[in-house]
A = this chain, B = another copy of it.
Amino acid sequence: MFRTIEWTENGVRMIDQTRLPADEVYRTCRDYGEVAEAIRSMVIRGAPAIGVAAAMGVALGVKHSSARTVHELRAEFEIIAETVSKTRPTAVNLFWAVKRMREVFESSLRADADASEAEKIARAKARLVEEAQRILAEDIAVNEAIGRHGAPLLKDSGTILTHCNAGALATGGYGTALGVVRAAVEAGKKIHVFADETRPFLQGARLTAWELARDGIPVTLITDSMAGHFMKQGQVEAVIVGADRIASNGDVANKIGTYTLAVLARENGIPFYVAAPLSTLDMSIRSGDEIPIEERSAAEVTHLAGVPIAPEDVQVRHPAFDVTPHRYVTAIITERGIAREPYTESLKALFSTAASPASPTPRV
């Protein structure tokens, strides 16, 4: 089995998702700048995986620090944190992970007031490396819990439509939306997946089709605009997607095209599920209107594998995400259970049962 991301002695090792499915190659980021660049260029992507990468990037940056004083180390931490935070604006897991690393950093510095500066620095470095690895391990466990909660929502056999990649590649492992699919398959259900190719970056064609095929889960690739047709024809039992950020009212930011699927699902009486860890929840915002939507480059739309597919100099828009209003969302599947309308209440209840303010994602 492939590993989406892992901590190694040499740095942060990740499967290069820009090279899949043609080549299964791994890249080791040897400093935090390389981790930030890997996030920016989508070598690693998917909100939970971005969170793990951000944590590992921070750990790597601090580990390599040559600061001699706590004051110097704090200043360096801020530079590292800012560099990592500025890579992508929409997935809140990135900011969640950096915040969690900052809290661990500060608490490790405070832990033993009598320690020397050198001892404090050494301990902070060790604690951050430990915490980043814990975030990875937790993420996998969280996804397995999402799968356990979500699988009973699916019938014993049927076709699930998914968009983008909310699978093992989008997370530490197992996946959110595809975690639900995997758990259902493990429970003996006969699941077939329609994978939207997900233009422009083709995460569905390149990643979802690849990882499901590797697991022997039947998958059929379609273009994004075919989803509605198959829903109308009664060939889709449920839609399950991941999320990049969920507002406290249940509005969901996810890969561009998700809103369209939600509208089509409701029009056709098909349940529309969002599977995401609580770390994707942004309780600080009241609605999806407050979620920043990343606009990516025109070249990702106009070129494919270096081949131009549109006239030169054509005007392009490229919002990488959209917001699905909560009224279209049948349920949000989290590691703590399932939230339904009214989300303002159900999400708050799930969120406040989480382990600690420092780590909203519970250790499951």
Contact = CB atoms under 8 A, between A and B. Distances in A.
A200 B223 contact: yes
A153 interface: no
Nearest to A328: B267
B221 A310 contact: yes
A139 interface: no
B315 A219 contact: yes
5 contacts: A196-B225, A221-B302, A221-B310, A225-B225, A229-B256
B264 A260 contact: yes
A196 B310 CA distance: 11
A256 B315 contact: no
A235 to B, nearest CB: 9
A256 B223 contact: yes
B304 A307 contact: yes
B206 A309 contact: yes
Interface string A275-307: 000000000000000000000000001101101
A237 interface: no
A210 B311 contact: yes
Interface string A242-269: 0000000000000011011001100100
A258 B216 CA distance: 33
A224 interface: yes
Contacts of A229: 256, 259-260, 319, 322
Contacts of A311: 21, 206, 209-210, 213
Interface string A188-227: 0000001011111010011001100100001111111111
A301 B226 CA distance: 11
Contacts of A219: 314-315
A103 to B, nearest CB: 35
A232 interface: yes
A62 to B, nearest CB: 38
A113 interface: no
A50 to B, nearest CB: 21
A317 interface: yes
Interface of A: 21-22, 194, 196-200, 202, 205-206, 209-210, 213, 218-230, 232, 256-257, 259-260, 263-264, 267, 301-302, 304-305, 307-312, 314-319, 322-323
Kindly name the residue among A206, A232, A305, A311 whose own CB sees the greatest number of chain B CB atoms within 10 A: A311
A222 B316 contact: yes
Contacts of A263: 228, 263-264, 267
A12 B198 CA distance: 38
Contact of A230 (B228, B232, B312, B317): B317
B304 A222 contact: no
A305 B305 CA distance: 9
A152 to B, nearest CB: 27
Given A205-B302, A256-B223, A260-B264, A228 B322 contact: yes
A199 B221 contact: no
A269 to B, nearest CB: 13
Contacts of A194: 317
Contacts of A232: 259, 322-323
A297 to B, nearest CB: 13
A305 B304 CA distance: 9
Contacts of A301: 197, 205, 221-223
